[in-house]
Amino acid sequence: MFQLSKKVEYGLIALRHMAMHPMGQVFTAKELAREYDVPYELLAKVLQKLARAGIVHSTQGVRGGYALGSDPRAMTVATVIQIIEEEKPMIAECYVEGPDSCSIFDSCTIRKPLGKVQRDLNILFDKMTIHQII
Amino acid sequence: MFQLSKKVEYGLIALRHMAMHPMGQVFTAKELAREYDVPYELLAKVLQKLARAGIVHSTQGVRGGYALGSDPRAMTVATVIQIIEEEKPMIAECYVEGPDSCSIFDSCTIRKPLGKVQRDLNILFDKMTIHQII
DNA sequence: TTGAAATCCGACTTCAGGAGTCCGATATTG
DNA sequence: CAATATCGGACTCCTGAAGTCGGATTTCAA
């Protein structure tokens, strides 16, 4: 309940690891998985998503792997979540899927007030960068 | 992902409804469920939990129902979530269940940094009261 | 005193989504 | 050509959210 997914956690751990080393250094999914004792296949999937989004740069083949694709100071936790989950962290479904997703949308009286919480939450995640978690 | 549960939503809606009427006024779970088009049995369970916690006062029997048990100005969203979910809204499992709940606890490098987010989140939910969502 | 209306509470079902796994394809290097 | 990567879809497993049901208890009023 109300938790970040393992995928997001693994992604943040991996990004942090890369951010702690010289920019451009390449790491394989396998070594990252071993280092942090994380399921390799799952981490691999996460890194692939981050690669598709351009946050990390991937190179295939022998001696391939992943390297940071942009400045960790400009890389927010919000962005990372957004990429991995394919949506922003929203505290209510209707904020994501719209009116038709909620059977009580019209009679709901807390949507607007909770919007304030949502906005503050967005600010929270937007403020925190990968660089800051080092 | 990262959403409040329906139970919490229903609870907040019901509490808000009561807070908008004169203190002490009694509402049945049935009429609240009808008013907001919410599953009766589920809302009933939520109200029972809130009653056990003393947040609302319940009276059984004919002409019974629920009434606000304390000042909505002192009733925080954090408290309501805590009562209904039986735990605070935590962004990582290890914050709730401790080291043994997470297989990578020792190698996890993001627990501390995310603690900052967690604290800010707590403040957010602590700041918002039922009175404010009117 | 009896029936209706309400809370109370546990047990149950259903289902979606999170977590993890597997496999084959493709790319790259030596 | 073989070894080592990423790539990406399909799959299983399982937990927990959401909702339902049934029966017990309490209370009021006719």
A121: domain CATH number is 1.10.10.10
Handedness of CA A56, A59, A60, A61 (dihedral sign): negative
DSSP per-residue codes, B67-95: EE-S-TTS-BHHHHHHHHHSS---SSHHH
Number of Cβ within 10 Å of residue A3's Cβ equals: 17
Q: Which nucleotide is nearest to B60 (CA to C1')?
A: C7
Closest to B85 (Cβ–Cβ): which among A1, A12, A87?
A1
Residue A76: CA count within 13 A, CB half-sphere: 13
A42 at interface of B, judged by CB pairs closer than 8 A: no
pLDDT at A51: 98
Are A113 and B133 in contact (CB < 8 Å)?
yes
A40 at interface of B, judged by CB pairs closer than 8 A: no
Distance set, CA B121 to CA A70, A103, A117, B35 (Å) = 28, 28, 9, 31
Look at residues A53, A66, A67 and name the one whose alpha carbon lies nearest to residue A24: A67
Residue B40 lies inside a defined structural domain of this protein: yes
Residue B76 lies inside a defined structural domain of this protein: yes
**B62-113 confidence digits (pLDDT tens):** 999 999 999 999 999 999 999 999 999 999 999 998 998 899 999 999 999 9
Residue B70 lies inside a defined structural domain of this protein: yes
Residue A34 lies inside a defined structural domain of this protein: yes
Residue A100 lies inside a defined structural domain of this protein: yes
Distance A70 CA to D2 C1' (A): 34
Look at residues A86, A79, A82, A91 and name the one whose alpha carbon lies nearest to residue A116: A91
Closest to B109 (Cβ–Cβ): which among A2, A13, A132?
A13
Contacts of A132 in chain B (CB under 8 A): 113
Residue B57 lies inside a defined structural domain of this protein: yes
Spatial distance between the Cα atoms of B95 and B118, rounded to a whole number of angstroms: 9
pLDDT at A60: 97
Residue B62 lies inside a defined structural domain of this protein: yes
Span B118-122, average pLDDT = 97
Total domain count for chain A? 1
Residues 9-68 of chain B with CB under 7 A from strand D are 39, 41-42, 45, 59-64
pLDDT at B117: 96
The tokens for A93 are 């479904």
Residues 56-75 of A with CB under 8 A from B: none
The pLDDT tens digits along chain A (134 residues) read 899 999 999 999 999 999 999 999 999 999 999 999 999 999 999 999 999 999 999 999 999 999 999 999 999 999 999 999 999 999 999 999 889 889 999 999 999 999 999 999 999 999 999 999 99
Distance from CA of A62 to the nearest CA of B (A): 27
Contacts of A116 in chain B (CB under 8 A): 128
Are A103 and B36 in contact (CB < 8 Å)?
no
**B31-69 confidence digits (pLDDT tens):** 999 999 999 999 999 999 999 999 999 999 999 999 999
Residue B25 lies inside a defined structural domain of this protein: yes
pLDDT at A1: 82
Structural domain range at position A114: 6-133
